[in-house]
Structure 1
Protein backbone atom coordinates (compact mmCIF):
# COMPACT_ATOMS: atom_id res chain seq x y z
CA UNK A 1 0.00 0.00 0.00
CA UNK A 2 1.80 3.04 -1.19
CA UNK A 3 0.54 6.55 -1.23
CA UNK A 4 0.76 7.80 -4.82
CA UNK A 5 0.31 11.47 -3.83
CA UNK A 6 3.81 11.52 -2.24
CA UNK A 7 5.52 10.19 -5.36
CA UNK A 8 7.31 13.10 -7.08
CA UNK A 9 9.25 11.21 -9.72
CA UNK A 10 8.57 12.47 -13.20
CA UNK A 11 6.71 15.58 -12.12
CA UNK A 12 7.82 19.18 -12.43
CA UNK A 13 8.06 21.29 -9.29
CA UNK A 14 5.57 24.04 -8.75
CA UNK A 15 6.81 27.31 -10.27
CA UNK A 16 5.33 30.70 -10.86
CA UNK A 17 6.35 33.39 -13.34
CA UNK A 18 7.79 35.37 -10.42
CA UNK A 19 9.93 32.40 -9.37
CA UNK A 20 11.15 31.93 -12.92
CA UNK A 21 12.02 35.63 -13.18
CA UNK A 22 13.94 35.47 -9.90
CA UNK A 23 15.82 32.36 -11.04
CA UNK A 24 16.74 34.08 -14.31
CA UNK A 25 17.90 37.18 -12.45
CA UNK A 26 19.94 34.99 -10.11
CA UNK A 27 21.58 33.26 -13.07
CA UNK A 28 22.54 36.63 -14.60
CA UNK A 29 23.91 37.84 -11.26
CA UNK A 30 25.97 34.66 -10.87
CA UNK A 31 27.42 35.09 -14.36
CA UNK A 32 28.31 38.73 -13.62
CA UNK A 33 29.92 37.74 -10.33
CA UNK A 34 31.95 35.01 -12.00
CA UNK A 35 33.11 37.48 -14.64
CA UNK A 36 34.09 40.01 -11.97
CA UNK A 37 36.04 37.40 -10.00
CA UNK A 38 37.86 36.28 -13.15
CA UNK A 39 38.78 39.89 -13.94
CA UNK A 40 40.07 40.48 -10.40
CA UNK A 41 42.15 37.31 -10.54
CA UNK A 42 43.69 38.48 -13.82
CA UNK A 43 44.41 41.96 -12.44
CA UNK A 44 45.95 40.71 -9.21
CA UNK A 45 48.14 38.04 -10.80
CA UNK A 46 51.73 38.85 -9.71
CA UNK A 47 53.23 37.90 -13.06
CA UNK A 48 50.78 40.12 -14.93
CA UNK A 49 51.50 42.99 -12.54
CA UNK A 50 55.24 42.56 -13.07
CA UNK A 51 54.80 42.56 -16.85
CA UNK A 52 52.69 45.73 -16.68
CA UNK A 53 55.27 47.42 -14.41
CA UNK A 54 58.11 46.56 -16.78
CA UNK A 55 56.12 47.80 -19.78
CA UNK A 56 55.28 51.01 -17.94
CA UNK A 57 58.93 51.55 -16.99
CA UNK A 58 60.07 50.97 -20.54
CA UNK A 59 57.46 53.41 -21.82
CA UNK A 60 58.59 56.04 -19.28
CA UNK A 61 62.23 55.71 -20.28
CA UNK A 62 61.29 55.75 -23.94
CA UNK A 63 59.17 58.88 -23.49
CA UNK A 64 61.93 60.59 -21.51
CA UNK A 65 64.71 60.01 -24.04
CA UNK A 66 62.71 60.05 -27.26
CA UNK A 67 62.14 63.23 -29.18
CA UNK A 68 59.06 61.65 -30.76
CA UNK A 69 57.06 61.58 -27.52
CA UNK A 70 54.31 64.11 -26.90
CA UNK A 71 55.45 67.05 -24.76
CA UNK A 72 53.06 66.14 -21.93
CA UNK A 73 54.19 62.50 -21.94
CA UNK A 74 57.84 63.53 -21.93
CA UNK A 75 57.30 66.00 -19.09
CA UNK A 76 55.50 63.34 -17.03
CA UNK A 77 58.20 60.74 -17.78
CA UNK A 78 60.99 63.09 -16.76
CA UNK A 79 59.15 64.00 -13.55
CA UNK A 80 58.58 60.36 -12.61
CA UNK A 81 62.14 59.33 -13.41
CA UNK A 82 63.52 62.37 -11.58
CA UNK A 83 61.45 61.48 -8.54
CA UNK A 84 62.69 57.90 -8.65
CA UNK A 85 66.31 59.04 -8.88
CA UNK A 86 65.79 61.46 -5.99
CA UNK A 87 64.21 58.69 -3.91
CA UNK A 88 67.12 56.33 -4.55
CA UNK A 89 69.60 59.08 -3.74
CA UNK A 90 67.81 59.83 -0.46
CA UNK A 91 67.80 56.14 0.45
CA UNK A 92 71.52 55.80 -0.28
CA UNK A 93 72.23 58.93 1.80
CA UNK A 94 70.25 57.48 4.73
CA UNK A 95 72.09 54.19 4.53
CA UNK A 96 75.49 55.92 4.41
CA UNK A 97 74.57 58.23 7.30
CA UNK A 98 73.34 55.26 9.33
CA UNK A 99 76.60 53.38 8.83
CA UNK A 100 78.68 56.39 9.89
CA UNK A 101 76.81 56.66 13.19
CA UNK A 102 77.03 52.98 13.99
Structure 2
Protein backbone atom coordinates (compact mmCIF):
# COMPACT_ATOMS: atom_id res chain seq x y z
CA UNK A 1 0.00 0.00 0.00
CA UNK A 2 1.10 3.54 -0.66
CA UNK A 3 1.58 6.04 2.09
CA UNK A 4 -0.64 9.03 1.25
CA UNK A 5 0.25 11.25 4.17
CA UNK A 6 1.04 14.86 3.33
CA UNK A 7 4.67 14.38 4.33
CA UNK A 8 5.04 11.31 2.09
CA UNK A 9 3.45 13.12 -0.85
CA UNK A 10 5.74 16.12 -0.32
CA UNK A 11 8.82 13.85 -0.22
CA UNK A 12 7.75 12.16 -3.46
CA UNK A 13 7.22 15.54 -5.10
CA UNK A 14 10.71 16.65 -4.05
CA UNK A 15 12.23 13.45 -5.46
CA UNK A 16 10.33 13.93 -8.71
CA UNK A 17 11.48 17.56 -8.98
CA UNK A 18 15.10 16.55 -8.39
CA UNK A 19 14.89 13.80 -11.04
CA UNK A 20 13.27 16.17 -13.51
CA UNK A 21 15.91 18.83 -12.89
CA UNK A 22 18.68 16.28 -13.44
CA UNK A 23 17.05 15.10 -16.66
CA UNK A 24 16.71 18.67 -17.95
CA UNK A 25 20.35 19.40 -17.08
CA UNK A 26 21.49 16.27 -18.93
CA UNK A 27 19.42 17.10 -22.02
CA UNK A 28 20.70 20.68 -22.00
CA UNK A 29 24.28 19.40 -21.94
CA UNK A 30 23.71 16.79 -24.65
CA UNK A 31 21.98 19.24 -26.99
CA UNK A 32 24.39 22.14 -26.49
CA UNK A 33 25.84 23.08 -29.92
CA UNK A 34 29.23 23.95 -28.39
CA UNK A 35 29.47 20.52 -26.78
CA UNK A 36 28.49 18.83 -30.05
CA UNK A 37 31.04 20.89 -31.99
CA UNK A 38 33.79 19.97 -29.52
CA UNK A 39 32.86 16.27 -29.76
CA UNK A 40 32.99 16.37 -33.58
CA UNK A 41 36.30 18.20 -33.46
CA UNK A 42 37.80 15.66 -31.06
CA UNK A 43 36.58 12.73 -33.19
CA UNK A 44 37.96 14.37 -36.35
CA UNK A 45 41.34 14.98 -34.74
CA UNK A 46 41.48 11.36 -33.59
CA UNK A 47 40.51 10.15 -37.07
CA UNK A 48 43.24 12.23 -38.71
CA UNK A 49 45.73 11.00 -36.10
CA UNK A 50 44.71 7.38 -36.72
CA UNK A 51 45.11 7.83 -40.48
CA UNK A 52 48.73 8.96 -40.02
CA UNK A 53 51.84 6.88 -39.46
CA UNK A 54 51.84 6.72 -35.66
CA UNK A 55 53.20 3.28 -34.74
CA UNK A 56 50.82 3.13 -31.75
CA UNK A 57 47.82 3.08 -34.09
CA UNK A 58 46.65 -0.42 -34.95
CA UNK A 59 46.50 -1.33 -38.65
CA UNK A 60 42.73 -1.84 -38.36
CA UNK A 61 42.23 1.67 -36.96
CA UNK A 62 44.55 3.14 -39.58
CA UNK A 63 42.70 1.45 -42.45
CA UNK A 64 39.31 2.44 -41.04
CA UNK A 65 40.41 6.06 -40.66
CA UNK A 66 41.90 6.22 -44.14
CA UNK A 67 38.78 4.68 -45.66
CA UNK A 68 36.53 7.11 -43.81
CA UNK A 69 38.65 10.11 -44.80
CA UNK A 70 38.74 8.89 -48.41
CA UNK A 71 34.97 8.60 -48.54
CA UNK A 72 34.64 12.05 -46.98
CA UNK A 73 37.07 13.58 -49.47
CA UNK A 74 35.24 11.94 -52.38
CA UNK A 75 31.91 13.19 -51.12
CA UNK A 76 33.26 16.71 -50.70
CA UNK A 77 34.71 16.64 -54.23
CA UNK A 78 31.34 15.52 -55.63
CA UNK A 79 29.52 18.31 -53.78
CA UNK A 80 31.99 20.92 -55.08
CA UNK A 81 31.69 19.57 -58.64
CA UNK A 82 27.89 19.68 -58.51
CA UNK A 83 27.94 23.17 -57.01
CA UNK A 84 30.34 24.37 -59.69
CA UNK A 85 28.20 22.86 -62.46
CA UNK A 86 25.07 24.52 -61.08
CA UNK A 87 26.86 27.87 -60.74
CA UNK A 88 28.09 27.74 -64.35
CA UNK A 89 24.59 27.16 -65.69
CA UNK A 90 23.35 30.40 -64.20
* Alignment partner, residue 4 of structure 2: 18
1:38 counterpart = 2:25: yes
- SS of the equivalent of 1:18 reads coil
**1:21 CA displacement:** 2.8
**1:86 CA displacement:** 1.0
Larger Cα Rg: Structure 1 or Structure 2? 1
TM-score (norm 2): 0.77
**1:99 CA displacement:** 3.2
* Alignment partner, residue 78 of structure 2: 90
1:69 counterpart = 2:57: yes
**Greater relative contact order structure (CA < 8 Å, 6+ sep):** 2
Q: Mind listing any 5+ residue stretches in structure 2 that lack a counterpart?
A: none
Number of residue pairs aligned between Structure 1 and Structure 2: 86
**1:75 CA displacement:** 2.9
Q: CA RMSD in A?
A: 1.8
**1:100 CA displacement:** 3.5
Of 78-87 and 92-101, deviating more is: 92-101
Of 20-29 and 32-41, deviating more is: 20-29
